[in-house]
Amino acid sequence: MRLPILRSPIRPMAMLALLALVGGGCNSTEPNQSCDSTPTLTVINDQTPRFEWTPSTCGEPWLSVQDMTDAQHPYVWTIVDTDTWFLPPVTYGVLPQGHDAGTVQVAAQPLVTGHSYKVTLYQERSPGDNFPVEVTSATFTR
């Protein structure tokens, strides 16, 4: 005789819950995931540049913008993930929602017309490792 629970609609739901717990990859919207894929970084070069990357939930993001034309002062803006995860898009010079000044490592400098810039995305590849690595970059010109 089979137990009634095996025929109930609860069993398939329990299996789905178990699969969700053991699933991996970068499809979750939960932060602090380890991830093996390389994100794609896009610069939307509007009046104020915006930066987007996908997948957005793999590794804690750090974002840095360098002026490739000015060797004396190359870093023009750097933000890091502190305790609160930030997701794209990120607008140049604007703190992501829910973040404070502690997120800023280098305050945003005015972008100069005719200069080339490199935006680099760093990520902590394992949750809490506090050692970001460069995962991708893109360039743009003002």
Mean per-residue pLDDT for 115-129?
82
Which three-class secondary structure state does DSSP give residue 124?
A: strand
Q: Are 78 and 106 in contact (CB under 8 A)?
A: yes
Mean per-residue pLDDT for 130-135?
80
Q: What is the CATH number of domain 26-141?
A: 2.60.40.10
Q: Where are the domains of the chain?
A: 26-141
Task: Out of 14-23, 29-38, 47-56, 117-126, give the one with best mean pLDDT.
Answer: 47-56
Reported confidence tier of residue 60, pLDDT bands at 50, 70, 90: confident
pLDDT at 84 over 60: yes
Question: What is the residue-averaged pLDDT of the chain?
Answer: 75
Q: Are 136 and 142 in contact (CB under 8 A)?
A: no
| Alpha helices per DSSP H over the chain | 10-22
Q: Which residue has the higher pLDDT, 34 or 118?
A: 118
Q: Give CB contacts under 8 A, 24+ apart, made by 68-72.
A: 68/115, 68/116, 68/117, 68/118, 68/139, 69/112, 69/114, 69/115, 69/116, 70/112, 70/115
Q: Which residue has the higher pLDDT, 43 or 15?
A: 43
Question: Can you point out the beta strands (E) in 11-129?
Answer: 40-44, 50-54, 60-67, 75-80, 90-91, 104-106, 116-124
Full-model pTM: 0.70
